[in-house]
Structure 1
Amino acid sequence: MKAVPLLALSFFAFIVSGSFAADAPAKPNVLFIAVDDLRDWVGYIGKYPASKTPNIDRLAARGIGFMKSYCAAPVCNPSRAALMSGLRPFTSGVYENNNDWRTVIPENLTLTTVFRQGGYYVCGAGKIYHEAYPRRSEWDDYLANEGKRGAETDAQNEGTSGIRFAPLDCRDDELADWKITDYAIAELGKKHDKPFFLACGLHKPHMPWNVPRKYYDMYPLKDIELPPYSESDLDDVPPAGIKMAKPWGDHAEMLKTGKWKNAIQGYLAATAYTDMNIGRLLDAFDKSAYKDNTIIVLWCDHGWHLGEKQHWRKFALWEEATHAPLIWVAPGVTKPGGRCERTIDFMTIYPTLCDLCGLPIPSHVQGKSIRSLLADPKSAWDQPALTTYLFDNHTVRTEDWRYIRYANGDEELYHDSEDPNEWTNLAMKPEFAAEKAELGKYLPTENHPDIGGDKGGGKKKKAE
């Protein structure tokens, strides 16, 4: 065989690599929107019709809104650590807010690192990871100071127990989320020489639900409706579930003070404030040079109870704590106005982004790409959602069923397609043994011990 000159080989490699291939398609950008504590009370899901989220719904109308999307953990820190690392809580041992995830998740495993190694400029602002444990070395740029949150935290609390809310007499731009959104808007207005991965992490509706008064005015107290509720709901819940619900705490105080509707008003107001910022971001995106070549994914770290099952906050394995919105817009893949009824969890986000952007999916990632569902929301999907809360407590969710098994062996089984409020626990009925056995196949057989708590900022945020 005749030898090819070294110069010719180098020139050929230069072209194949894409460095000199003018016709090579540009990699898509990524706009990565995270919302803290946003449950399924958004318009496109329709769980609470009075909720006003026109901008979230506007985004869903551009692509696919998932109707049955679930978190990896109903707690901020483990949920975010799992999504960003590809490692489920029972693999990493990150179960609580006071677990310093950085001690067990090396930087080379994370989603940000995969994108940086793939040639992306990776930047962000706000809450992507649990901010008690920042690791800025993963980012090319990150908003250093999102501003004081005094207007939010210094207001007189009108809530009860630990549920905090109050209308504020302030401007929209006096809250931290405005500055976080401004950062993302500024990045969309810049000229980028490389494809970008832009993360925008919004705090609201995380407590305190302290937002400008006009958002409270959107929801007159006389019009607030309570969520579906049964006084006997916990009668068939086993001790481990009761321990998580803690009905003697927040809920008992809410009933005692008569502020249940006030709290719902506060949550809806905080959600409306975040929806406003998402609208600002979408307006800037539509005016940017990147609107036709950018994947948008909006996700939430978990859901939130507002009195269902006599429970408040997250920290549980039922529908309200685990269910949260997920929206995808992927140019050339998704079609406008799509809805997907398949049951997935947020561990699919990491591999799907890699898949859509032509990046290798690392072997450690414990989730599968849902590209097929983005292209056809009705296509086959056989993976249920799996959520973990604390050591060896898990729930499996399919389109029809929810099965919960606690560390002590207690069980709950709900036929969600027939019992959407999960009011009737079928776990002890022998005629449902086959359903339990089938769902139990998806539970992990090994659970990493809890890595333990730190002595710093994470511990004080354990309840948040």
Structure 2
Amino acid sequence: MKRILATLALLASGILPAAAADAAPSKPNVLFIAIDDLNHWVGYLGRNKQTITPNIDKLAARGVRFTRSYCAAPVCNPSRAALMSGMRPSTTGVYSNNEDWRTVIPEEKTLITTFRNAGYFTGGAGKIYHGGFDRTSEWEDYPKEKGKEPKPKGSDGVGGIKFAPLDCADSDLSDWGITDYAIEQLGKKHDRPIFIACGLHKPHMPWNVPQKYYDMHPLDKIELPPHLEGDLADVPPAGVKMARPEGDHAAMLKSGRWKEAVQGYLAAISYTDMNIGRLMEAYDKSPIKDNTIIVFWGDHGWHLGEKEHWRKFALWEESTRAPMLWVVPGLTKPDSLCERTVDCMSIYPTLCDLAGIPKPAHVEGKSIKSLLADPKSAWDTPALTTHMYNNHAVRSEGWRYIRYANGDEELYDETKDPLEYKNLAGDSNFADKKAELAKWLPTSNKEPAAGKGEDKQKGKGKKKKAAAE
């Protein structure tokens, strides 16, 4: 019945001509791959030579890989709520992990509902929205994940940074079953176009994966990420407060286990790469391969000691940059590189554009279909990232400008200073550059949902733990 109603709605709107009603399955299918906490440590970006991601790299070579792609928010919940709703955190007020996005984002506005109303079968598994705030009514099929995962023996990390090898099989982790779901859907015969979402958890902490993935990254070969002692000296108080160097970074230095933590993150990435390989093998065997779009995205980046910071929760390059890959049959060309600066708000409108679905009026991002067709085509819209109320970063191809709620500023020349060591915001020679970038800042900032976004992130006990993840 839902399919019939959706088709009738398309006929009434004129989107789907009557003669084409039976051709609905010819609309492109979508394989929507979300990765949790994966920064730019993937082989095809070349930022970290230690990472081992052959399957992600092969996927990147199938279509267009973006070298400058950024999240809407450097936190799981607001990043995913923004991408899936088409509305930025400054519009919805969803800034932290503890805010229930469902209270401010109606079901009819989400990406999934838009495709479902357009006649698509919508199925998903794993982490697409942030855990605890799922709304399964949007989906036609969304199975629950299996129970508890294996626990490590002995030490499980340093403070809140959790990492340890496991004595278990690949299939004992939930990401295996999540991948299995997408594989099963790709192999099924469907009577209409499909939108299949595969949300993998790793490399989200804990970085607990089978021992063999740790063995791929021997501890004696591990190199620390680039870092500069005293890097926060020219960062304003608001930025230092976000970094909290007295927390995770101080504990890691004291422990002497920094390299072990890097090893754990690399191992977790390699585990995810294995599942991507399984998924791509199924894609190649799928009867719908030639009419299936792949979009691969990460919800935000991650620091491992750069700028004396760990985790996300900041507005610098490491925490805001995340992979984005597109494969669109008949449009993208293999092994294409796009150096334009985009953010994840482009995903919703681009998928609509590619599927011939009108972009809903509330969606704030711009379609990047032109960049998929020609990665060198003109593009003048920078990426915008928001962390908590009224703190924003604007990232153009050459610059990053950060303005905090209290007026503190940072400005980095990304061409000369890609590690963001020198804050130029106080140099009057760059006043025009700041003004040029500042025009992209939101003109309005909604108060946090439930009015406690920042307080919740700083809360105690279980609330504090939830926000930290």
Same fold (TM over 0.5): yes
Match of 1:408 among 392, 406, 411: 406
- Does residue 180 of structure 2 align to residue 175 of structure 1? no
Q: How does 1:99-110 map to 2 (within 5 A)?
A: 99-110=99-110
Q: How does 1:49-448 map to 2 (within 5 A)?
A: 49-144=49-144, 146-151=145-150, 153=151, 155-448=153-446
Distance 1:38 1:444 in 2: 26
Residue of structure 2 equivalent to 1:46: 46
Distance 1:260 1:316 in 2: 20
Distance 1:402 1:20 in 2: 48
Q: CA deviation at 1:150?
A: 2.7
AA at the equivalent of 2:253: L
After superposition, the C-alpha distances for 1:367-395 in whole angstroms (9 at most, x for unaligned) are 00000000000000010000000000000
Distance 1:282 1:458 in 2: 38
- Does residue 462 of structure 2 align to residue 463 of structure 1? no
Distance 2:73 2:153 in 1: 30
Q: Scaled by the length of structure 2, what TM-score is found? A: 0.93
Against the structure 1 CA distance between its residues 188 and 155, is the aligned structure 2 distance closer, same or farther, given a 3 Å change threshold?
farther
AA at the equivalent of 1:340: C
Distance 1:135 1:180 in 2: 17
Distance 1:168 1:304 in 2: 23
Distance 2:22 2:166 in 1: 55
After superposition, the C-alpha distances for 1:198-243 in whole angstroms (9 at most, x for unaligned) are 0000000000000000000000111111111100211100000000
Against the structure 1 CA distance between its residues 61 and 311, is the aligned structure 2 distance closer, same or farther, given a 3 Å change threshold?
same
Question: RMSD across aligned C-alpha pairs, in angstroms?
Answer: 1.9
Judging by fraction of residues, say which structure has more helix. Answer: 2
Q: Scaled by the length of structure 1, what TM-score is found? A: 0.94
Distance 1:130 1:291 in 2: 29
Answer whether contact 1:251 1:307 (CA < 8 A) is retained. yes
Distance 2:294 2:463 in 1: 30
Distance 1:16 1:98 in 2: 44
AA at the equivalent of 2:94: V
Distance 2:331 2:463 in 1: 40
Answer whether contact 2:401 2:412 (CA < 8 A) is retained. yes
Bigger Rg, which one: 1
After superposition, the C-alpha distances for 1:65-121 in whole angstroms (9 at most, x for unaligned) are 100000000000000000000000000000000000000000010000110111100
After superposition, the C-alpha distances for 1:2-37 in whole angstroms (9 at most, x for unaligned) are xxxxxxxx9xx9x94245666x88100000000000
After superposition, the C-alpha distances for 1:249-288 in whole angstroms (9 at most, x for unaligned) are 1101111111110000000000000000010000011111
SS of aligned partner of 2:228: coil
Q: CA deviation at 1:161?
A: 1.6
Distance 2:468 2:21 in 1: 53
Answer whether contact 2:28 2:355 (CA < 8 A) is retained. yes
Distance 1:431 1:40 in 2: 31
| 450-459 or 245-254, which deviates more | 450-459
Answer whether contact 2:80 2:299 (CA < 8 A) is retained. yes
Answer whether contact 1:238 1:411 (CA < 8 A) is retained. yes
Q: CA deviation at 1:460?
A: 4.8
Q: CA deviation at 1:156?
A: 3.9
Distance 1:210 1:148 in 2: 16
After superposition, the C-alpha distances for 1:137-191 in whole angstroms (9 at most, x for unaligned) are 00000012x112331x565443112100000010000000001001111111111
AA at the equivalent of 1:462: A
After superposition, the C-alpha distances for 1:37-69 in whole angstroms (9 at most, x for unaligned) are 000000111100111001111100000110000
AA at the equivalent of 1:121: F
Identity of aligned residues (%): 67
After superposition, the C-alpha distances for 1:331-371 in whole angstroms (9 at most, x for unaligned) are 11100000100000000000000000000100110100000
Q: Which runs of 5+ in 2 are unaligned?
A: 1-10
Against the structure 1 CA distance between its residues 138 and 109, is the aligned structure 2 distance closer, same or farther, given a 3 Å change threshold?
same
SS of aligned partner of 2:272: helix
Answer whether contact 2:152 2:166 (CA < 8 A) is retained. no
Distance 1:351 1:155 in 2: 46
SS of aligned partner of 1:412: strand
Residue of structure 1 equivalent to 2:26: 26
